[in-house]
Amino acid sequence: MADSGGGFVEHSEEVRERLRRPPDGSPPSSRWTLAHIRDAFPWLSGYSLSGVWRMVQRFKVGLRRGRIQQFSPDPAYVEKEAYLLACLSQTARHPDTHVLVFMDEMGFFRWPTPSLDWMAAAPDPAQVALCADNNRQWRIIGILNAMTGQVNYLDNYIVGRNVVAPLYQALNQIYPDVQHIYVVQDNWSIHKHADVLAVLADLPRIEPVWLPTYAPWLNPIEKLWRWLRQDVLHLHRWAADWETLLAMVHDFLDQFAHASQALLRYVGLLGDGKLASAIHFP
């Protein structure tokens, strides 16, 4: 019997080891099913699928969710990350003369993004179709102060060089008394457009700090956008009322117009993470 004495231990080790490799079969499969497991071990051939499930549970084997492997292909990743951490530390040590903000853009649509909610029944699709006849898009560009949690933003139908450049100019006015302003940003081509660089040339206190390519985990403002989607945009009820939807988005962002410890905690700039540790040094 598979569950008796030393045989149980032997079978447990056999199953654990075999599941490290993909199942055999035609057509090939990358993941195991209970049927695959039964077919792979002759001593399970007489078990029902529910019996196989109970057996592998006894072996401490169960469904596990894989993790997304986050990887930036940037060959200068280590150097760029190190410089970002150095800028954070410099700002934390000299908060009266230095500011560091994270910049990013996001877009959203008139129609709500799908999500879960408590309700008696799903809405009638025929009624939903009447709420809006076009899925209008809107875009936001924002900056998050790494030390205080203050958020400033601009929004428009299109966020291009004609919006990015004014945000730099606004940033220069928001912090008139500091000597140096680090702006951490991704490698979106608009950030390096000639018109934007011309504006930056007239704002010598502002220094762009370039993130490694495809490394959103180093830009905490990405989590602000996630919070906005979760609280306002998922399954919202204002598809037929664009002005109300836009006001709700503005109200959400405006709550961080001055400073927010709660936001810093949410985006990972408080605590013991890598970015937070560069700020809250011993």
Q: Are residues 209 and 144 in the same domain?
A: yes
Cβ pair 279, 98 in contact under 8 A: no
Q: Are residues 221 and 91 in the same domain?
A: yes
What pLDDT, in 10s, does the model give residues 253-281?
999 999 999 999 999 999 999 999 999 86
> Does the residue 64 lie in any domain?
no
pLDDT at 36: 93
Q: Which two tokens stand for residue 175?
A: 């912090």
Q: Are residues 243 and 106 in the same domain?
A: yes
What pLDDT, in 10s, does the model give residues 17-33?
999 999 988 788 899 99
pLDDT at 215: 95
For residue 175, the SS3 value is coil
Structural domain count, the chain = 2
pLDDT at 131: 60
| Element (DSSP H or E) covering residue 139 | strand 137-145
Is a pLDDT exceeding 50 seen at residue 1? no
pLDDT band at 129 (very low <50, low <70, confident <90, very high): low
pLDDT at 132: 57
Q: Are residues 146 and 212 in the same domain?
A: yes
Q: Are residues 91 and 40 in the same domain?
A: no
Is a pLDDT exceeding 70 seen at residue 71? yes
Amino acid at 21: R
Share of the chain above pLDDT 90, in %: 75
Angle between helical axes of 161-174 and 194-201 (0-180°, round to 10): 20
Q: How far apart are CA 153 and CA 39, in angstroms?
A: 58
> Does the residue 71 lie in any domain?
no
Q: Are residues 141 and 50 in the same domain?
A: no
pLDDT at 7: 72
pLDDT at 245: 95
Q: Which two tokens stand for residue 16?
A: 């654990």
Q: Which domain holds residue 203?
A: 77-279
Alpha-carbon separation of residue 282 from 1, 92, 93, 156, 268 (angstroms) = 58, 12, 11, 42, 17
> Does the residue 70 lie in any domain?
no
Q: Are residues 45 and 168 in the same domain?
A: no
> Does the residue 269 lie in any domain?
yes
| Burial of residue 147 (number of CB atoms within 10 Å: 0-12, 13-18, 19+) | middle
CATH of the domain at 157: 3.30.420.10
Q: Are residues 223 and 108 in the same domain?
A: yes
pLDDT band at 282 (very low <50, low <70, confident <90, very high): low
What sign does the CA torsion over 225, 226, 231, 236 have? positive
For residue 28, the SS3 value is coil
Q: Are residues 92 and 48 in the same domain?
A: no
Q: What is the mean pLDDT of the chain?
A: 91
